[in-house]
Amino acid sequence: MKIRMKDIAKMANVSEAAVSLVLNDKPSRISEKKKNEIKAIAKELNYMPNIAAQSLAKNASQTIGVVIPDIENPFFSKLCKQLEEQFRARGYLTIIVNSNDDFAVEKNLIQMLLNRGVDGLIIALSNESFAYKKEQEQFLKMIDRPFVLVDRQVAFAGVNQVYFDSLAGGRLSTEYLLENGHRDIAFLTGDLELPGTLERIKGYKQALDSYGIAIKEDYIIETGYRFANGIEKAKELFRLKPITAVITSNDMVAFGVLKQAVTNGYTIPNDLSIIGYDRLEIADLLGISLATVEQNSSELTEEAVSLLTKMLTKEAEQTTKQILTPTLFKGESVKKIK
């Protein structure tokens, strides 16, 4: 049974207004004794104020919706946790929804969050939405509350975004391999529909160019983001190419390549150098020192939370695009050759 103010009023033999004044610590002419009695009853009954009613009164529900594509991916689950903590510190509750990388689900979920009156949104778009670019843009521009896109960038203007510089990320890892003597470098890219993927490929090509190395288009293989994708594409790769190094779309895929490499009898990094993306903690934990492009997720969440909060309090009027710089963690999965 949910306890309401009127239940407490009845038990304390006072008006509901009196209970409200006391429980909200408002000044009143109610005696200290009665005040204590009311508070004791509220405590005894485990009374909890109705947040919806409070937010109606304040005209703010104090809730943020977080839309992410894959809750099981450690990069995103960490992001959720950080967002929840940072919004809580600013007095907001966080609702998380998982689009499962499905655009139709994503639209439904966002619509539901809007209907339920969230104050604002943090959105990491589904991969699938990038296959429907016009609809994606239309949909986002229809959202009538403040929102910030994180991690997966869009190419059009007019929306707030915080993301990492993918071109720099692609260049960093390629350059590091080049410095270590590698010339046959495969790239298991992410989804080719994503602007971020295209940027990373651009970075990869720029780096090769700067070393005067011809780009082999068959070294660039579109891959997903999961462990199984890494295994699958590694099989393909090892059959066909005389490569000495691989760059992957993320660490999960790098782990898949690693696993398949071991299955094929390769030792890492002696037979194959690998560079991932994300710097997932689990790699460190398990003693696998994977070279990887690190995107500091706290930096991302802090910027996004700060930006959205400003929008909610009307401090930020113009749309902004914040591009963060990734760094390279060198690990031990790259071997110097020649």
Q: Running DSSP on this structure, what letter comes out for residue 213?
A: P
Of 97, 207, 311, 328, the residue at the interface with a second copy (CB under 8 A) is: 97
Which residues are 206's β-sheet partners? none
Work out how close the CB of 98 gets to a second copy at its nearest, in angstroms, rounded to a whole number. Answer: 5
Part of the chain binding a second copy (CB under 8 A), chosen from 17-25, 140-148, 180-188, 197-205: 140-148
| Type of residue at 247 | I
100 is a site residue for a second copy (CB under 8 A):
yes
Q: Which of 19, 64, 70, 277 binds a second copy (CB under 8 A)?
A: 70
Distance CA 97, CA 290 (A): 30
| E strand or H helix that includes residue 148 | strand 147-150
Strand extents, DSSP E, 151-283: 160-164, 185-189, 220-222, 245-248, 273-278
Q: What is the DSSP string of 260-309?
A: HHHHTT--TTTT-EEEEEE--HHHHHTT---EEEE--HHHHHHHHHHHHH
CB environment 144-166: b (16+ within 10 A), e (fewer): eebbbbbbbbbeeeebbbbbbbb
Is residue 93 close enough to count as binding a second copy by CB under 8 A? yes
Residue 111 engages a second copy in binding (rule: CB under 8 A): yes
What span, in angstroms and rounded, lies between the C-alpha atoms of 256 and 233? Answer: 9
288 binds a second copy (CB under 8 A): yes
Stretch that binds a second copy, among 31-39, 136-144, 306-314, 328-336 (CB under 8 A): 136-144
Which CB sits closer to a second copy, 135 or 236?
A: 135
Q: Which is nearer to a second copy, 78 or 235 (CB)?
A: 78
State which residue, 72 or 332, has the beta carbon closest to a second copy: 72
Among 6, 10, 26, 88, binds a second copy (CB under 8 A): 88
Residue 198 in the binding site for a second copy (CB under 8 A)? no
Our CB check for a second copy shows the closer of 73 and 161 to be 73
| Ramachandran category for residue 337: left, alpha or beta (phi over 0 → left; psi -120 to 50 → alpha) | beta
Site for a second copy contains 241 (CB under 8 A): no
Contact set with a second copy (CB under 8 A)? 1-3, 46, 48, 50-53, 63, 70-72, 74, 77-78, 80-81, 84-85, 88, 93-98, 100, 105, 107-109, 111-112, 114-117, 135, 138-139, 141-142, 144, 227, 255-256, 258-259, 262, 281-283, 285-288
